[in-house]
Structure 1
Amino acid sequence: MAANLDDLTAFLAVAKARGFREAGRALGVSPTTLSETVRRLEAQLGVRLLHRTTRSVAPTEAGNRLIERLAPALSEVEAALASLNDLRDTPTGTLRLNVPVGVARLILPSLLPGFTAMYPDIQVEVAAEDTIVDVLAAGADAGIRYDEKLEQDMIAVPIGPRVQRFAMAAAPAYLARAGNPEHPTDLLQHKCLRGRFRNGALFSPWELERDDEVIRIEPQGPLTVSISGAMDLAIDMAVAGMGIIGLFEDWLRPHLDANRLSPVLSAWWSDFPGPFLYYSNRRLVPPPLKAFLGFIKSARRDQ
């Protein structure tokens, strides 16, 4: 039951994009051609791989089972082919990263311009999401996560600042109207702007720390946004005076420096370790990833 490698790659692209149109754009082929390819593969394998409706495409149980085994295998094939770059003077290919939205917003902008300038033949693809994923199954070469979310059997390399802070802020107009909290428990009497992960869990509790005292608060408020795509909306609403926002200090810093937001309970802002880039120790390291590892290590030495 040997299947054509191109057909398997096409199926994986459609499953990942959840649609023939998006996958076709990524592969440079028509949706009709992709649909015929997947149907041919299903006929050859004797099982339905995709549920198709007029609005969506989703893998069947058989499709999911194939994806679980196929994605890492194809990644390994790509890595093996990419390893031929070692015979070239300049690495080429694509570096695929899966990162949290905060990392895409705060850390990668300081790294990618220098990296792409140093390696102009490497293309970078970044998928930003707030859930924990199997980076190989997601088609990525490496992921970036914070230490408590690192996957097992992975090699971890520090990237970005080694210490970050959780900060709280509000518009001066809001604080003039509602008062400035003097203790973390005062937050329970305020309107707070919250974030929610894609799995439905709230970015909660807010953890505040001073000296050896740690206080965790379950904030309440009029606005909850998706962390994966709407945190800038929450910041805009905080600037507009809707309430108090809790977020990475670096994310709020431009608004604090411009006095659009004022710090809240700054003596209680808590530190947490910075993120790590992680990748599998069970596969060949593709040259684009190898180049990026060398770049971030050099950047850390220069700090």
Structure 2
Amino acid sequence: MRQPNLSDVALFAAVVEAGGFRAAAQKRGMSASSLSDCMRRLESDLGLRLLNRTTRSVTPTSAGARLLERLRPALEEISAAFNDLDDESQRPVGTLKLNVPVPVARHLMPGLLERFLKRYPGVNVEVVMDNSFIDVIGAGYDAGVRYEESLAKDMIAVPIGPRRQRFVAAASPAYLAAHGTPQHPSELTDHQLLGHRFENGKVGVFEFEKHGRTLRIPPRGQLVTSSHDLRIQSAINGLGIVYIFEEFLREALDDGRLVPILEDWWQPFDGPFLYYHGRRHMPSPLRAFIDFIKAEAQGEDG
């Protein structure tokens, strides 16, 4: 086995991350054919096939996957070392990859990222919406945002966004005129409740809380969906009662398309947290983002 070229090793990781030669080549500013040549040279130096190539995809072989697992920490350390140079000049550069749930992506990130990206023009941000709890490092993200999750000991959690939020129940004026306005959660069993199905297949319950008492009402309506938009619009259309993040309904509540119900039973909960790996060398875009959200939480503008 010949000593491999370290540039080829980094390119191998880029191909696997991008899922193909063309995408990786575009990110690296080189041709796909040149990148393919580098991979053949690396495989020749190692005497091992690292990639399975088909007309539709490029995936690592078992040997390639094992190699990448060992290489990734070292490559991250090298990248972090260069990013530290950017930190010294107070101009972080690079890409920040975030994995966030739908409510955060819709109602928190737009304003937050507008302010952050204007302050740090050298940083690019990639946001992927995902409601399930994941290993952000293993999935290739710099950080994630989640609600009230049990985080691993090597993860650090930082508050991001509002610290208290609520689930609210509402229905259209037409629905309430036709079916009556419930005065207690127990009366919801006689109503059309618009259900939400999670990624794991479970349907969420309507959970209300008052004076330390919690009532859970399984939705038994005509509609169950994984789409927040469909549930909200269905409520506006008079198909039933929706129970969802307050931010999702604010516009419809303000303009009267929906009417709040059971307000004294609405359940509050803690706001979201940014979580990330407590590694020694942190990429400069992530460090800048953490400092930014901490400053925002303290009401700083500098």
- TM-score, normalised to structure 1, is 0.82
The letter of the residue matching 1:296 is: I
Deviation (angstroms), 1:225: 3.1
Secondary structure of 2:110's counterpart equals helix
Secondary structure of 1:221's counterpart equals coil
| Structure 1 partner of 2:201 | 201
Structure 1 segment 148-159 matched on structure 2, within 5 A: 148-159=149-160
Q: Label 1:9 to 1:247 Cα distance change in 2 as closer, same or farther (>3 A).
A: farther
| Structure 2 partner of 1:212 | 212
Deviation (angstroms), 1:105: 1.1
Verify the 8 A CA contact 2:198 2:204 in the aligned structure 1: no
**Correspondent of 1:239 among 236, 239, 254:** 236
| Structure 2 partner of 1:123 | 124
The letter of the residue matching 2:290 is: L
Deviation (angstroms), 1:180: 2.3
Deviation (angstroms), 1:29: 5.7
Q: Is 2:247 the partner of 1:250?
A: yes
User: Which protein shows a greater Rg?
Assistant: 2
Which string of whole-angstrom CA distances, capped at 9 and with x for unpartnered residues, describes residues 31-76 of structure 1? 666667667666756356558575x666665565555545444333
The letter of the residue matching 2:142 is: D
CA distance in 2, matches of 1:38, 1:179: 68
Structure 2 gap ranges (5+): none
The letter of the residue matching 1:270 is: Q
Structure 1 gap ranges (5+): none
Q: Is 2:259 the partner of 1:262?
A: yes
Q: Is 2:286 the partner of 1:289?
A: yes
CA distance in 2, matches of 1:194, 1:40: 55
CA distance in 1, matches of 2:186, 2:20: 48
| Structure 2 partner of 1:103 | 104
Number of residue pairs aligned between Structure 1 and Structure 2 = 298
CA distance in 1, matches of 2:124, 2:102: 20
Deviation (angstroms), 1:269: 0.7
Verify the 8 A CA contact 1:208 1:215 in the aligned structure 2: yes
Secondary structure of 1:182's counterpart equals coil
CA distance in 2, matches of 1:171, 1:26: 49
Structure 1 segment 150-229 matched on structure 2, within 5 A: 150-198=151-199, 200-202=200-202, 204-226=204-226
Q: Is 2:275 the partner of 1:278?
A: yes
Which region of structure 1 is more displaced relative to structure 2, 250-259 or 233-242? 233-242
Percent of aligned positions that are identical: 49
Which region of structure 1 is more displaced relative to structure 2, 180-189 or 155-164? 180-189
CA distance in 1, matches of 2:231, 2:86: 44
The letter of the residue matching 1:162 is: R
Deviation (angstroms), 1:14: 5.2
The letter of the residue matching 1:279 is: Y
Which string of whole-angstrom CA distances, capped at 9 and with x for unpartnered residues, describes residues 57-97 of structure 1? 66665565555545444333322221111232422222222
Secondary structure of 1:180's counterpart equals coil
Verify the 8 A CA contact 1:194 1:224 in the aligned structure 2: yes
Verify the 8 A CA contact 1:194 1:219 in the aligned structure 2: yes
Which string of whole-angstrom CA distances, capped at 9 and with x for unpartnered residues, describes residues 208-232 of structure 1? 1011110122213333333xxx322
Q: Label 1:80 to 1:268 Cα distance change in 2 as closer, same or farther (>3 A).
A: same
Secondary structure of 1:148's counterpart equals coil
Deviation (angstroms), 1:196: 2.9
Verify the 8 A CA contact 1:72 1:136 in the aligned structure 2: no
Deviation (angstroms), 1:299: 1.0
CA distance in 1, matches of 2:224, 2:67: 37
| Structure 2 partner of 1:114 | 115
CA distance in 2, matches of 1:146, 1:281: 19
Verify the 8 A CA contact 1:100 1:145 in the aligned structure 2: yes
Verify the 8 A CA contact 2:51 2:58 in the aligned structure 1: no
**Correspondent of 1:46 among 45, 48, 53:** 48
CA distance in 1, matches of 2:67, 2:194: 41
| Structure 2 partner of 1:141 | 142
Verify the 8 A CA contact 1:51 1:60 in the aligned structure 2: no
Deviation (angstroms), 1:298: 1.4
- TM-score, normalised to structure 2, is 0.83
Q: Is 2:296 the partner of 1:302?
A: no
CA distance in 2, matches of 1:39, 1:131: 37
